[in-house]
Amino acid sequence: MNVREALASTAACLKSAGIESSSLDASLLLAHILNTTRTSLFAMGTDALADNALTAFRALVDRRLNGECAAYILGKKEFRGLEFLVNHSVLVPRPETETLVETAISVLNMEQAAVSPIRILDLCTGSGAVAVSLKSERPQLDVWASDISPQAIETAKTNTARLLPGASIHFYQGDLYNALPAMQFSVIVSNPPYIPTDVIKTLAPEVQNEPHLALDGGHTGLEIIERIIEGAPKYLRSGGTLLMEADPRQMKNITILLEKRGFSDIQLYNDLSGQERAIKGAYKA
């Protein structure tokens, strides 16, 4: 069997199992086995696959068919041009979360003239994708990050050391603001758990295999978000910004929660698919 045949048959197999990213996943897994890039892989179309490579490839495909996502199988995922290590203790970074980073950068660009140095907090940091991306693109930032999971914090620290050697991000392990010393930030950003508990079991198998601690937003899906909003004023300087990712269907209720807590200038931001994915509010003491 050659490379092209292996890709075609595997993509068809994955597609028949209901995996939407069948062609992408097939090429990612085979490129990994052959220690090459996806671009180079397609130039190898007529090359024969060695028996040991084919056996190893089929083993990875079986894992994918059993509900393990490609990122966990490979142990890595690209986000904003950076390759993050991922494992079963962290969510896989998703393209829609880039909206959160892009919005944070636009807010920070306006903050630059108002206060220096700019201190930013990433709550529920997981793999560190948001915190590391912000530090990578704005090295002058004073970046802090927290997560309730000790394993997630270790993963985020590892990603920081790999991707930003010599850079400093302050990591704290604990439950939201309880992890932090008393201080104030110009911006608080978060991609928190926001899926209602009962909905998780209806999601695709690869999503269900991600850590429920990072998915489960409680009965309404808003329980963690409510706590973030409630605690934010104590940790925001006057005029500071709270920015969160959430389900587009939750934005109306989140807007109400922000308004009740005294936030103003509330704005919504769309992801690349046109869905409302991020919400921002300003707090003036």
List Cβ neighbours of 229 (8 Å cut-off, separation of 6 or more). 242, 254, 257, 258, 261, 263
- Predicted pLDDT at 116: 67
Does one domain contain both 264 and 134? yes
Bridge partners (DSSP) listed for residue 83:
78
Residue 45, amino acid: G
Positive or negative: CA dihedral 148, 207, 169, 158: positive
For residue 278, give the CATH number of its domain. 3.40.50.150
CB 213, CB 148: distance < 8 Å: yes
The range of the structural domain enclosing residue 92 comes to: 88-283
pLDDT tens, N- to C-terminus, the chain (285 residues): 999 999 999 999 999 999 999 999 999 999 999 999 888 888 888 889 899 999 999 999 999 999 999 999 999 999 999 999 999 999 999 999 999 999 999 998 876 655 667 999 999 999 999 999 999 999 999 999 999 999 999 999 999 999 999 999 999 999 999 999 999 999 999 999 999 999 999 999 999 999 999 999 999 999 999 999 999 999 999 999 999 999 999 999 999 999 999 999 999 999 999 999 999 999 987
Does one domain contain both 144 and 277? yes
- Predicted pLDDT at 61: 96
Q: Give the burial class of 57: count Cβ atoms within 10 A of its Cβ; 0-12 exposed, 13-18 middle, 19 or more buried.
A: buried
Does one domain contain both 159 and 266? yes
Does one domain contain both 133 and 249? yes
- Residue 204 belongs to some domain of the structure: yes
- Predicted pLDDT at 230: 98
Buried (b) or exposed (e) across 108-132, using 16+ Cβ within 10 A?
beebeeeeeebbbbbbbbbbbbbbb
User: How many domains does the chain divide into?
Assistant: 2
- Residue 49 belongs to some domain of the structure: yes
Does one domain contain both 151 and 226? yes
Does one domain contain both 101 and 146? yes
- Predicted pLDDT at 109: 85
Does one domain contain both 155 and 234? yes
Distances (CA, A) of 101 to 48, 71, 73, 130, 163: 42, 20, 26, 6, 17
- Predicted pLDDT at 115: 60
- Predicted pLDDT at 66: 93
Does one domain contain both 114 and 172? yes
- pTM for this predicted structure: 0.92
Three-state secondary structure call for residue 282: strand
Does one domain contain both 47 and 99? no
Helix, strand, coil % (nearest 5) of the chain? 45, 20, 35
- Residue 61 belongs to some domain of the structure: yes
